[in-house]
Amino acid sequence: MHRFLTNNREKLIARCKAKVAQRPARAATNAQLANGVPLFLDQLTQTLQAEEDGQVEESLRISGAAGVTWPH
């Protein structure tokens, strides 16, 4: 999965931005669009890579434990 995300990163970002732009009730700011989706994809890609490599501690460091809600 991390390879798919890496190989299709720019297309995924563009599609996410287009989808968000169509939401009438929850408009995102330009800064949120420019930073949020790429940051999320990078974090997800790194987490999946760490998990595939058996680096559980690194995965938790990147994304935190499953089921944890923010802010702490």
**CB of 45 closer than 8 Å to CB of 6:** yes
Per-residue pLDDT tens listing for the chain (72 residues)? 889 999 999 999 999 888 887 877 777 777 887 888 899 899 999 999 999 899 888 888 888 777 656 554
Say what the pLDDT of residue 71 is. 55
Domain boundaries, the chain: 2-62
Say what the pLDDT of residue 70 is. 53
Say what the pLDDT of residue 62 is. 86
* φ, ψ dihedrals at 68, nearest 5°: -85, 130
Say what the pLDDT of residue 67 is. 66
Give the helix ranges, DSSP H, for the chain.
Answer: 2-7, 9-21, 30-52, 56-63
Q: Look up the pTM and report it.
A: 0.69
